[in-house]
């Protein structure tokens, strides 16, 4: 279990999904939550970075990540969840500032995560209920919380969430650039982009799905 967390924590940093000191990760085993300590760097974790705390009370929380209350509330509301990754994926955070949900426009994104909810605050009462219906959610301007049965699944959904967001952002840039440069007939992507760009102009930045 710890080896998986260390491996995927490093991947989050390498893939640009999380920055150096952000985020926290936990695993639940029976009535114990193993969560990263306050200030731990997810890209360079060791066994000493995991703090065992109680599932049902905060008596051992002293050295744990400040987000332990949210992790605990999520586990209590979702008994099937055994793993949580909270991190700061930049493109997803950027999109979250102007929308209340992210809808993928790429095929893989639609398959894995048809809708990613965005909530206004990291409220321990709100997020657990949302994560009982969705595999991942974004706290507006803050970061993602993903839950699952193991770290492979949770890392996958976190990675796909950021990929979905990156594709939306790149697509917006392509649409705007296409309109500005008015490429010649037969130019790369011109046929689809013109219609998409018109839609973007009509709907404005609130329509995040593009």
Q: How far apart are CB 208 and Zn ion at their closest, in Å?
A: 21
Contacts of 76 (CB under 8 A, 6+ apart): 55, 56, 128
Comparison of 104 and 143: residue with beta carbon closer to Zn ion: 143
- Among 135-143, 164-172, 179-187, 191-199, the segment contacting Zn ion (CB under 5 A): 135-143
b/e for 69-88, b at 16 or more Cβ within 10 A? ebbbbbbebbeebbbbbbbb
- Among 12-20, 48-56, 139-147, 199-207, the segment contacting Zn ion (CB under 5 A): 139-147
Comparison of 109 and 143: residue with beta carbon closer to Zn ion: 143
Comparison of 19 and 194: residue with beta carbon closer to Zn ion: 19
Torsion sign across C-alpha atoms 64, 68, 69, 72: negative
Q: How far apart are CB 130 and Zn ion at their closest, in Å?
A: 16
**Distances in Å between the alpha carbon of 41 and those of 49, 57, 149?**
9, 25, 23
Residue 128 interacting with Zn ion (CB under 5 A): no
Cβ-contact 139, 146 below 8 angstroms: no
Comparison of 22 and 78: residue with beta carbon closer to Zn ion: 22
Q: How far apart are CB 83 and Zn ion at their closest, in Å?
A: 17
DSSP H or E segment with residue 52: strand 50-54
Q: Which of 82, 143, 166, 178 binds Zn ion (CB under 5 A)?
A: 143
Give me the half-sphere count of Cα atoms (radius 13 Å) on the Cβ side of residue 167. Answer: 17
Q: How far apart are CB 143 and Zn ion at their closest, in Å?
A: 4
Comparison of 103 and 122: residue with beta carbon closer to Zn ion: 122
Residues that bind Zn ion (CB under 5 A): 143
């Amino acid at each position: 279990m710890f080896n998986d967390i260390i491996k995927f924590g490093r991947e989050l940093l390498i893939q640009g999904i999380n920055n150096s000191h952000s985020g926290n990760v936990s695993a639940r085993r029976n009535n114990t939550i193993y969560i990263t300590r306050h200030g731990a760097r997810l890209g360079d974790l060791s066994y000493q970075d995991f703090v065992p705390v109680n599932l049902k009370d905060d008596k051992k929380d002293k050295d744990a990540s400040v987000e332990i209350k949210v992790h605990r509330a999520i586990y209590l509301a979702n008994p099937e969840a055994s793993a949580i990754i909270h991190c700061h994926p930049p493109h997803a955070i950027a999109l979250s500032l102007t929308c209340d949900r992210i809808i993928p426009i790429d095929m893989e994104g639609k398959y894995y995560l048809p809708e990613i909810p965005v909530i206004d605050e990291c409220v321990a009462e709100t997020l657990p209920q949302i994560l009982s219906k969705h595999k991942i959610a974004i706290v507006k301007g803050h970061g993602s919380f993903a839950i699952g049965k193991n770290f492979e699944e949770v890392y996958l959904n976190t990675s796909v969430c950021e990929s979905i967001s990156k594709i939306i952002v790149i697509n917006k840039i392509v649409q705007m650039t296409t309109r500005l440069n008015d490429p010649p007939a037969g130019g790369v992507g011109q046929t689809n982009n013109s219609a998409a760009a018109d839609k973007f102009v009509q709907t404005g930045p609130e329509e995040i799905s593009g």
